[in-house]
Amino acid sequence: MPVSIVVISLCSVMVVINLLGNSLVCLVVLKDKAMRKTPMNFLLVNLAVSDMIVGVFSTFRFLIDNPFENLRGTPAHVACSFLTGATFMWIGILASVLFLVLIAVERYYAVLHPLHHRTGMVARKLKTIVTALWVYALAWNIPTFALFRYSDQTGRCFVLWSSPYLGQARAIWWVINTAVVPVIIMGYLYIQIVRKLWKTLQRGRVPSEKARRKVTRMTLIISMVYILTWIPNSVIFLLLQFSSLVTPDSPADQLGILLVTFNSCINPIVYSLHSTPFSKSLKNLLWCCRPRCKRNAVVPTTRMTLQRVERDVDDTSYRNEDFVENRIESRLSEKSHQSIQGEST
């Protein structure tokens, strides 16, 4: 079908962009010591990892032609569970949604409660929360690993529910869990954030809020892209479960996969356009791939060392000046005391 050829071509391009872009996001943050320390960048790395999982496993059934041509029985069922059944894609999608909500929470505290943000979003707490979210995303999708089967008649993978109502109930809960509740939470948080930033902008506190506004704008765009791509996909998913209007591998089903794949590859482009620190770090990383990198890298390191030396010298000079002044004052007081004693005698 012409549609399948278009889908395969688009998926291939988006997977390449996904892996290249999100890998660069991880490298940029991990290579930059200053960026590694911020909660936001830690969350963006986890979001990039989940997006790579989504991009790779969402397109297997389109990129692999007749994957079960020579497989039957248990090997075909295992291949469905771990490759073309898209179980890992669902894990990546749920993790991605949870990280987007957590990013909105982080921005909420950074803008509305900055003092609590400095003490609340510490690295140890954040690592615990992120680990819990990954465990939850994996645990939620464990049943599909065991229930995926391959049909020799249709040539497709399917989930073998004991009752069709269980599959429909899970589909409803999935849409609530990944679309309805996250959109409500992110919508409320970003409305509060925008209101706060608008008030500070009208008060004239532009310099102190400029960086915070840029980061918030970037995360807001990421969330809006997710909402615009995931809500149509959720509608398609529900129609696939409850209606005959949408069938597996139909144009509507393929459109849903394309929307998910597009959402997983667009975030690095947003970072490059709206995050100055990320853009600079990315340029430095790409520049350092050149042979002259090590020689050029000495300059900023030397400059930073000289700045630290100058600061230490200044601190030392201040201490020496204080020491000299104290010595002069003590000598004057001793002389005045001696003169008073001489006059009294």
128-137 tens-digit pLDDT: 999 999 999 9
pLDDT for position 312: 40
Q: Which of 23-32, 290-299, 309-318, 330-339 has the lowest mean pLDDT?
A: 309-318
Q: Which of 44-53, 62-71, 153-162, 295-304 has the lowest mean pLDDT?
A: 295-304
Check pLDDT > 90 for residue 102: yes
Alpha-carbon 197 to chain mean position: 22
Yes or no: say if 21 and 222 are a contact pair by the CB < 8 Å rule: no
Give the whole-angstrom CA distance, residue 46 versus residue 229.
20
Q: Where is pLDDT greater, at 321 or 46?
A: 46
Q: Which of 58-67, 144-153, 202-211, 295-304 has the lowest mean pLDDT?
A: 295-304
Residue 66 falls in which region: left (phi positive, over 0), alpha (psi -120 to 50) or beta = left
Q: Where is pLDDT greater, at 76 or 322?
A: 76
Q: Where is pLDDT greater, at 336 or 286?
A: 286
Q: Which of 212-216, 222-226, 257-261 has the lowest mean pLDDT?
A: 212-216
Yes or no: say if 100 and 221 are a contact pair by the CB < 8 Å rule: no
Q: Where is pLDDT greater, at 289 or 260?
A: 260
Q: Where is pLDDT greater, at 146 or 66?
A: 146
Give the whole-angstrom CA distance, residue 118 versus residue 339.
58
- Segment 243-271 shows an average pLDDT of 85
Give the whole-angstrom CA distance, residue 195 versus residue 105.
15
Handedness of CA 121, 123, 125, 130 (dihedral sign): positive
- Segment 162-190 shows an average pLDDT of 90
pLDDT for position 71: 62
Q: Cβ contacts of residue 139 below 8 Å, gap of 6+? A: none
Please report which confidence band the pLDDT of residue 209 belongs to, taking 50, 70 and 90 as the band edges.
low
Please report which confidence band the pLDDT of residue 94 belongs to, taking 50, 70 and 90 as the band edges.
very high
Measured between alpha carbons, how far is residue 90 from residues 41, 87, 233, 264 in Å? 23, 5, 13, 12
